[in-house]
Amino acid sequence: MSVSTYTVTGMTCGHCVGTVTSEIGRVAGVTAVDVQLATGTVTVTSDGPLDDALVRDAVEEAGYELAAS
């Protein structure tokens, strides 16, 4: 099991959280997604290490951006 944390910018409501959760949840290997609207923090649990590019693509598909690390 692997846990990764990201910061997503541009989310303003519960619908945003649902969209980001749904898109990241479709990434192969992801088992759980926890999005904190107030901070923009997204914690992703997966079977193994995730390719950050796949998570970035999912966030962008949802209409948002990952903050630079």
What pLDDT, on a 0 to 100 scale, did the predictor assign at position 20? 98
Q: Which residues touch 7 (CB under 8 Å, ≥6 apart)?
A: 39, 40, 41, 42, 66, 67
Length of the chain equals: 69
| Tens-place pLDDT, residues 9-60 | 999 999 999 999 999 999 999 999 999 999 999 999 999 999 999 999 999 9
Q: How many domains does the chain have?
A: 1
pLDDT-derived band at 68, boundaries 50, 70, 90 = confident
The whole-model pTM stands at 0.93
Which residues form the domain of 26?
Answer: 2-66
Q: Give me the CATH number covering residue 10.
A: 3.30.70.100
Task: Write out the H or E segment, with its range, that includes residue 52.
Answer: helix 52-62
pLDDT of 69 above 70? no
**Could you give the angle at which helices 14-25 and 52-62 cross, rounded to 10 degrees?**
140
Cα 57 to Cα 20, 38, 53: the distances in Å are 11, 22, 6
Tokens 């990241």 correspond to 24
